[in-house]
A and B are shown apart, each in its own frame.
Chain A
Amino acid sequence: MTNLLTTKDLAVEIGCKAVCKDLNLNIGSGECWAILGMNGVGKTTLLHTLAGLHPAVSGQIEINNTTIENIPPRALARFMGLLLQDYEDAFPGTVMQTVLCGRHPHLKNWQWESEKDLKIARDALAFVEMQGFEDRSILTLSGGERRRVAIATLLCQQTTLLLLDEPTNHLDLRYQHKILSSLSQQIKQNRQAMLMIMHDINLATRYCDHALLMFENKDYLSGKCEDVITAENLSRLYGYPMTLIKSNNKEIYLAG
Chain B
Amino acid sequence: MNHRAISLLITLSLISIGCLLLALYAGSLSISWPEIISSFYVEQKTMAQQLVLELRLPRAAAAFITGGLLALSGALMQVLLRNPLADPYVLGISGGAAVAALIAILTGLSGLALSGSAFVGALCAMLLVFGLSHGQGSWTPTRLLLTGIVLASGWGAMISFLLAISPDQNLRSMLFWLMGDLGYAETIGPSVIVLIAGLLISISVARNLNILSQGELQAASLGVKTNQLRLLIYILASLMTATAVTLAGSIGFIGLVIPHLIRLMGFSDNRILLPASALMGGSMLILADTLSRTIIAPQQLPVGVISAAIGVPMFLFLLYRGQVHRL
**Residues of chain A at the chain B interface (Cβ within 8 Å):** 48, 51, 53, 72-78, 81-82, 84, 87-94, 97-98, 101-102, 104-105, 107, 109-110, 112, 137, 139-140, 157
B263 and A91 form a contact (CB under 8 A): yes
Chain A: CB-nearest residue to B207: A104
Contact of A157 with B222 at beta-carbon distance under 8 Å, contacts A87-B215, A110-B204 already known: yes
Chain A contacts for B205, CB-based, 8 A: 109
B214 and A92 form a contact (CB under 8 A): no
User: Is B218 an interface residue, CB under 8 A from the partner?
Assistant: yes
A93 and B268 form a contact (CB under 8 A): yes
Chain B contacts for A110, CB-based, 8 A: 204
Contact of A89 with B214 at beta-carbon distance under 8 Å, contacts A112-B1, A137-B327, A139-B326 already known: yes
Chain B contacts for A53, CB-based, 8 A: 217, 220-221
Chain A contacts for B327, CB-based, 8 A: 92, 137, 139
In the docked arrangement, what's the CA distance between A91 and B269, Å?
Answer: 10
**Residues of chain B at the chain A interface (Cβ within 8 Å):** 1, 78-79, 82-84, 204-205, 207-208, 210-211, 213-215, 217-218, 220-225, 263, 268-269, 271, 326-327
Q: Which residue of A75, A78, A97 contacts B269 across the interface (Cβ within 8 Å)?
A: A97
Q: Which residue of A51, A91, A94 contacts B221 across the interface (Cβ within 8 Å)?
A: A51
* B101 smallest CB distance to A (angstroms): 33
In the docked arrangement, what's the CA distance between A105 and B208, Å?
Answer: 10
Chain A: CB-nearest residue to B271: A112
Further contacts, 15 of them, CB under 8 A, given A84-B218, A93-B210, A140-B326: A48-B217, A53-B217, A53-B221, A74-B223, A76-B223, A77-B222, A81-B222, A84-B215, A84-B217, A91-B79, A92-B268, A97-B268, A102-B222, A109-B204, A157-B222
Chain A: CB-nearest residue to B215: A88
Inter-chain residue pair count (beta carbon < 8 A) = 78
* B245 smallest CB distance to A (angstroms): 25
Give the dominant DSSP class at A's interface: mixed
B213 and A105 form a contact (CB under 8 A): no
Q: Which residue of B84, B221, B224, B225 contacts A84 across the interface (Cβ within 8 Å)?
A: B221
Contact of A90 with B223 at beta-carbon distance under 8 Å, contacts A84-B218, A137-B327, A139-B327 already known: no
Chain A: CB-nearest residue to B225: A73
* B160 smallest CB distance to A (angstroms): 33
Chain A: CB-nearest residue to B82: A90
A104 and B268 form a contact (CB under 8 A): no
Chain A contacts for B215, CB-based, 8 A: 84, 87-88
In the docked arrangement, what's the CA distance between A74 and B271, Å?
Answer: 20
Chain B contacts for A91, CB-based, 8 A: 78-79, 84, 213, 263, 268
Sample 27 A-B pairs with CB under 8 A, ordered by A number.
A51-B221, A53-B221, A73-B220, A73-B223, A75-B223, A78-B223, A81-B221, A82-B221, A88-B215, A89-B214, A90-B84, A90-B213, A91-B78, A91-B79, A91-B84, A91-B268, A93-B210, A93-B268, A97-B268, A98-B214, A101-B211, A101-B214, A101-B218, A104-B208, A107-B207, A112-B1, A157-B222
In the docked arrangement, what's the CA distance between A21 and B187, Å?
Answer: 62
Chain A: CB-nearest residue to B205: A109
Chain B: CB-nearest residue to A73: B223
Chain A: CB-nearest residue to B203: A110
In the docked arrangement, what's the CA distance between A149 and B212, Å?
Answer: 17
* A243 smallest CB distance to B (angstroms): 37
* A48 smallest CB distance to B (angstroms): 7
In the docked arrangement, what's the CA distance between A157 and B214, Å?
Answer: 15
Chain B contacts for A102, CB-based, 8 A: 222
A104 and B223 form a contact (CB under 8 A): yes
Chain A contacts for B220, CB-based, 8 A: 53, 73
* A181 smallest CB distance to B (angstroms): 25
A77 and B204 form a contact (CB under 8 A): no
7 pairs of A and B residues whose beta carbons are closest in the complex: A77-B223, A74-B223, A82-B221, A105-B223, A73-B223, A90-B82, A93-B268
Chain A: CB-nearest residue to B83: A90
Q: Which residue of A97, A112, A137 contacts B326 across the interface (Cβ within 8 Å)?
A: A137
Chain A: CB-nearest residue to B1: A112
Chain A contacts for B271, CB-based, 8 A: 112
Chain B contacts for A109, CB-based, 8 A: 204-205, 207
In the docked arrangement, what's the CA distance between A256 and B214, Å?
Answer: 41
Chain A: CB-nearest residue to B263: A92
In the docked arrangement, what's the CA distance between A11 and B67, Å?
Answer: 52
In the docked arrangement, what's the CA distance between A87 and B78, Å?
Answer: 18
Chain B: CB-nearest residue to A107: B207
* A221 smallest CB distance to B (angstroms): 27
* A96 smallest CB distance to B (angstroms): 10
